[in-house]
Structures are given as structure tokens and as C-alpha cells.
Structure 1
Amino acid sequence: MSFGQNVQFLRKMRKGMTQEELAEQLGVSRQTISKWELDNTFPEVDKIIEISKLFSCSIDQLVREDVTMIEEAYSNIRVKTLDSFSFVRYAVVSTDPESDAIIHLRDWAHRNEINNPEFIGWDFPWVSQEQINVHNMHGYEAACILPENFKKSCEELEMRNQKQQQYSIITIKEPFSAPFYLIPNAYKTLMMYLEINDYKQGKNKDIINCFEKIYEKEGITYMDVYISVED
């Protein structure tokens, strides 16, 4: 991707900054920004340094790399506060851990008479290199969100509570069309969004710091990726 496309992407990532706002920050005209983004002209070195500092990226990233990651698959990057909720969770290490964890929790929800259960999940990192390299096994932890005033009759899983927490979120359309590309890049895009907008990633042992939620809408599969943000 070009320098101009990188500038345009970074500008929009910074809370929808307009060309006029960027021009004011850099002491140039809006027309100059437009020419840069169209790759009609190239800024002086001092302006490149200013842009890289403004958007918290290196000069190499700005000039030589593709920071855009603009995909039709990605949309609606935002920050949202999630209300507190209760959940039970289940971790699996297997060759298909996500499916195994969800199947187990779906069965648990059915036995506990939870209609239309809502699931979230995240990678389970405590897997040995032998399990990964030799046996092609990976870890995944899934959680079932519990309805309000839920009275758990099954003692198999421990109920946990999550307090109100702010998250950055990105939506992926049809994430499993290219899961090993789309999902990791979604996390990378969110981390860039946090850095550009001066957010700090939440690191609290009492909350779920990052997770994924899969759902369908009008026959299309979507995944929302969440990363916690410090309040």
C-alpha cells in the first residue's frame, strides 16, 4: 500500500479525524493533506516525522509498509462499555478445541434450561510445545453468558462474575473464510487503534481481557473481537 493510503487509514483510525483537523495539527492546508493521500505529492522529511509521532508508528511503517489492513471483512471499530454479567467457562486442549468447548457448554446450557445461550471465547495459552508441534493440539476457553437471576442447578461448572468494563471492539464479516489471516489481523488492527487513540489495554486478572463472540445476522456469520481498555 502507498504512503497516502497509510496516512488516510491512520487519520480515520484516530477517532475519525478529518483532513482539516490533520492539516491544522501539521500546519498545512487541507488541500496538501488531500494531495498526500492521493499520492500526488510527498511531504518533507520533517512532516513525515511529525505524522509518525502523531499516529504512534515508525517512519518505516508509514512509508514502506501496509498499515491499512483495509478489508471488506472489517468494520465498525469502536469503544463500548459492557455491563456486568455472570458466566460459566470451560477450557479444552484438543485438535479442535473451540468446537469441543462450545459443544460442552451448549450441552450444559441445555441441561440447565437456558434457551438461546450466548457464548464467547478466547485462546487458552497453557499448551505445551509438544502438544502443539507433535500432536497438533491447541487450547481454547469458552464461556456461556448466564441470564439474569439464573439459578444454577448443575454443580459441574463454577459461576463467575465480571464487573462493568470498557472494551475496544472490531467486527469481522465471515471470519472463517480465512481465519488464520482475518482473526489475527483483527487483533492487530484493534491494538493499533488503541495506540493511535491513546487508549491503554486493560490488564486486570479479575476481568476477561480479550475475547471473541460469533453470531449470525441475515444468514451471514460475524465475529466481534473485544480487547479491554483501561477506564
Structure 2
Amino acid sequence: MSFGKNLQYLRQLSKNMTQEALAEKLNVSRQTISKWEMDAANPEMDKALEICKIFNCTLDNLFREEMDKRSDSYSNLRVEEVAGFQYIEHTVISTDPESDAISRMYKIAEENGIENPRVIGWDFPNLSQEQINVFSMHGYTAALVLSDDVKPEGYQIKEQSSHKYVAIRIERPYDNPFVTIPGAYHTLFDFMRTNGLEQAENDVIPCFETDGDSMDVYIACR
């Protein structure tokens, strides 16, 4: 863990705040910020508390955590207004549900003549403790985004209204999925906290990820 790396990480999340801008907020010199970020010095307690207030974090976040879990795989961290869309969904509960759920959506797309289908997905949380702890199961919901003229039979068509999301892109998400994908969500939650955003969960898909060689991860916010 490194206070300096954490401070630099928080600056970058906060709309790429410059060292000069942070120095002005703290009434210190830019050189002081530079020393902190190189771990050549640590701030006094009053300045550390001011930093926590600026970035909406805790002293534990600053000094004890490894906040920057990003990798070279991440890019295009942003706030995006996602246009409304219609979709159908399919949930699988098993020891490896993602591939089955996603494959089902691509099969439906092929059956309905949908070219370049857009498939998204998210974890399905409503499992019993027995399913999780005894049988090592988890759930995953895959969804096929529909155009107005496509209505697959046998599925309830749902609607997602236009909504604001924070998002990040992962290149090569499946090279190390158990690190890069959770790390992307971690980065998005840090970004939301630092910029005064809250997660939105009512009447909207709370979070989802796209399928493909590169993956965009989205969390609904307000």
C-alpha cells in the first residue's frame, strides 16, 4: 500500500485534478503534493483530514488500502447517458452460469435474424445460502437488446428507460477475469464516491457488463 499512489489515484478519479489545483485547495505548494505522491513525505493530520473531505474517503482508505487496483486493461472511464432500450433476459443458476446464459441470447439472436447482437449481463443475486455454500452455485442473467421490429416469442419484453451510468472499458477482460472485472467495479465505485455520485437501483438495471473481446462495465448512478 502507498499513500502517494492512493493520492495520485484519487486526483485522477476527480476529473483529473492537477497537483496545482489540489495544492490550492490545501493551501500548500505543488512541490508538497509531488513529495506526498512520491512517498517522500506524509501530510500532517489536519491536511490528511482535508484530503479525506475533498475526495470523500477515509484515513483508512488513504493510508491502509491499495486503492488503485486498475491495470493497463482499463480505459475510457466516464459518465454516460445510456439511451433507453427493450430487452429479453435469461437467468441461469449453476456452477458456471455465464456461458450458458450468454449462449442462449446469441442463439435467440440468430433465430430472429439479428446481426451483430448486443448482449449484456449481470450477476443474479437471489440465491439461497445452500446453493452458494453447499453446491458452489451462482446466478447470472444475460439479456439481448432488441430493436423495435424484433419480438422473440416466448419471452417477456422488458424496457429500460434512459439513465445515467458510470462506465469503464476493459480490454482483454477474460485474460484474468477474476481480477480485472471486480477491479473495474471497484474503480467505478471509487469514482462515484470521489465525485459525489450515488448508485441508483430503482426502476433501472443497477449494473451490467457487455459481452465481447472488450467489455464495458456500467453502474447506474444519480
TM-score range normalised by the length of the shorter chain: over 0.9
TM-score, structure 2 as length reference = 0.95
Corresponding residue of 2:178:
180
Asked if 1:226 corresponds to 2:218, the answer is yes
CA distance in 2, matches of 1:70, 1:125: 25
- Paired AA for residue 214 in structure 1: D
Corresponding residue of 2:119:
119
Task: Kindly state the Cα deviation for residue 177 of structure 1 after the two structures are TM-superposed.
Answer: 2.0
Please state whether the residue corresponding to 1:202 is helix, strand or coil. coil
Which is worse superposed, 178-187 or 191-200? 178-187
Please state whether the residue corresponding to 2:211 is helix, strand or coil. strand
Asked if 1:134 corresponds to 2:134, the answer is yes
- Paired AA for residue 48 in structure 1: A
CA distance in 1, matches of 2:113, 2:169: 30
Task: Kindly state the Cα deviation for residue 199 of structure 1 after the two structures are TM-superposed.
Answer: 0.9
Q: Residue 44 and residue 142 in structure 1: after superposition, are their counterparts in 2 closer, same or farther (change >3 A)?
A: same
Give CA deviations for 1:121-142 in whole Å, capped at 9, x if unaligned.
0001111222222322211001
CA distance in 2, matches of 1:128, 1:160: 26
CA distance in 2, matches of 1:51, 1:136: 42
Corresponding residue of 2:46:
46
Q: 1:213 aligns with which of 181, 189, 210?
A: 210
Task: Kindly state the Cα deviation for residue 100 of structure 1 after the two structures are TM-superposed.
Answer: 0.8
Q: CA RMSD in A?
A: 1.4
Task: Kindly state the Cα deviation for residue 76 of structure 1 after the two structures are TM-superposed.
Answer: 1.8
Please state whether the residue corresponding to 1:168 is helix, strand or coil. strand
Give CA deviations for 1:101-128 in whole Å, capped at 9, x if unaligned.
1111111111211112110000011112
Asked if 1:74 corresponds to 2:71, the answer is no
Corresponding residue of 1:150:
149
Task: Kindly state the Cα deviation for residue 41 of structure 1 after the two structures are TM-superposed.
Answer: 2.2
CA distance in 2, matches of 1:87, 1:189: 27
Q: Residue 185 and residue 70 in structure 1: after superposition, are their counterparts in 2 closer, same or farther (change >3 A)?
A: closer
Q: Would the aligned equivalents of 2:188 and 2:219 in 1 still touch at CA under 8 Å? A: yes
Ranges in structure 2 where 5+ consecutive residues have no aligned partner: none
Task: Kindly state the Cα deviation for residue 64 of structure 1 after the two structures are TM-superposed.
Answer: 2.4
Task: Kindly state the Cα deviation for residue 144 of structure 1 after the two structures are TM-superposed.
Answer: 0.4
Which runs of structure 1 show a deviation greater than 6 angstroms over 4 or more consecutive aligned residues?
Answer: none
- Paired AA for residue 37 in structure 1: E
- Paired AA for residue 45 in structure 2: V
CA distance in 2, matches of 1:155, 1:12: 47
Q: 1:192 aligns with which of 177, 190, 193?
A: 190
Q: Would the aligned equivalents of 2:70 and 2:187 in 1 still touch at CA under 8 Å? A: no
Ranges in structure 1 where 5+ consecutive residues have no aligned partner: 216-220
- Paired AA for residue 208 in structure 2: F
TM-score, structure 1 as length reference = 0.91
Task: Kindly state the Cα deviation for residue 207 of structure 1 after the two structures are TM-superposed.
Answer: 1.4
